[in-house]
Amino acid sequence: MSDKVRIAFVGCGGHASGALYPQFARIAEIDLVAVVDQIEEKRLVAQRTWGARRAYASVEEMLDKEKPEGVCISGPPQMHYEVGLQVLERGIPIFVEKPSAIDFQHAYDLAEAARKAGTFGMTAFMKRFATAYEKAKEITQREEFGPVSMVSVRYTHGAYPSIWGIEDRALVCLIGNQCHAFDLARYFGGDVTELYARLCDRGEGCFAFAVTLQFENGAVGLLNSNATDDPSWNIRETLNVSGLLCSVDVEDMIHVNYRPRERWAPELGPWREGLYALPHAVSYGLGGRWLGYEGELRHFAQCIRGEVENRSSLYDGAASLAIAEAIWESAKSGKPVRPKSHKPGQ
């Protein structure tokens, strides 16, 4: 009997096909037993391209016949919730693309459904598994780094569309894309207890949020979340984490700069230690590894086998949406807001 984890995948759209399916060829722990999509052409192309054993139009039929050990779900957030519940009711773990639902309450209910079913779910915050952020996280956990004092995240791009039935583009961007920035802030700073947001809205999907954060552990933070930086979709992404008389920066998931308390090379004065990736023609094929897509899927399989603790739970997905909704409320009210609690069993 194969010791590979039997995984089924629901959804054969653009993100799944461009970012997730290509990773399976490099993950020896996974056997892709089935793909599911209501559109026949999409599911057959995915089956043929990515080597799935079978293709289905129905989630229920796939679950009945394949009895997978885990199910990945990638599509609109409403689908994440609906299909997620279908799978969890059978006690099967799920991996859902972010956002895990259309709002905090549905995301929290999904997390609770997994807990009550005696299983678990992952939210696909792939940046937690990206090489640059993994290195930065390891640095911040060193004794020499001291307690995290400040977290600053810049996550900016061009105009954002109206999707998923949400007309206000600034709001849907908080839910669907800026959740990456919110999760990074939590990953490095801890839970957010209060925030204050201001919004500049230029219309047509061009807007800018400036947000201050208060973390549970006493640290503070800043978010620059805007859709005014670029005429297209080129994302500018920086993370700055300050410890105690030291700091680490990540730029565009390529550069990692560490300023330790002890000088790396005293004779070089202001010079500091740094790591960076230099993309070239050959390495582009491993982009999913450096960006975290490969790591998050492998982690899902390892969680199913009980080899590791879940590093990106459904509760993390709910927490990100709680921050999104709090930012929106604060920007509209002009007052500080405490995000809703995502703690289990409330």
What CATH number does residue 75 fall under?
3.40.50.720
DSSP lists the bridge partners of residue 237 as 155
With respect to residue 304, please indicate whether it lies within any of the assigned structural domains. no
**Cα–Cα distance, 28 to 105 (Å, whole number):** 36
Long-range contacts of 247-250 (CB under 8 A, 24+ apart): 248/136, 248/139, 248/140, 248/145, 250/132, 250/133, 250/136
Q: What is the pLDDT along the chain (346 residues), one digit of tens a residue?
A: 469 999 999 999 999 999 999 999 999 999 999 999 999 999 999 999 999 999 999 999 999 999 999 999 999 999 999 999 999 999 999 999 999 999 999 999 999 999 999 999 999 999 999 999 999 999 999 999 999 999 999 999 999 999 999 999 999 999 999 999 999 999 999 999 999 999 999 999 999 999 999 999 999 999 999 999 998 888 999 999 999 999 999 999 988 999 888 877 778 777 777 767 666 544 555 667 889 999 999 999 999 999 999 999 999 999 999 999 999 999 999 999 999 999 999 8
Which phi and psi (to 5°) does residue 237 adopt?
-135, 120
With respect to residue 248, please indicate whether it lies within any of the assigned structural domains. yes
DSSP lists the bridge partners of residue 10 as 36, 73
- Both 187 and 325 in one domain: the answer is yes
With respect to residue 263, please indicate whether it lies within any of the assigned structural domains. yes
- Both 90 and 140 in one domain: the answer is no
**Cα–Cα distance, 131 to 136 (Å, whole number):** 9
- Both 199 and 329 in one domain: the answer is yes
- Both 15 and 133 in one domain: the answer is no
Give the predicted TM-score (pTM) of the model. 0.94
What's the one-letter identity of residue 48?
R
- Both 90 and 163 in one domain: the answer is no
Compute CA distances 171 → 82, 139, 336, whole Å.
22, 34, 18
| Count of domains for the chain | 2
- Burial of 9-33, coded b for 16+ CB within 10 Å and e otherwise, reads bbbbbeebbebbbbbbeebebbbbb
Task: Look at residues 98, 114, 144 and tell me which one is the last residue of a structural domain.
Answer: 98
Q: Which domain holds residue 156?
A: 128-283+314-333
What CATH number does residue 168 fall under?
3.30.360.10
- Both 329 and 193 in one domain: the answer is yes
With respect to residue 9, please indicate whether it lies within any of the assigned structural domains. yes
With respect to residue 57, please indicate whether it lies within any of the assigned structural domains. yes
Cβ contacts of 242 within 8 Å, gap of 6 or more = 148, 149, 150, 151
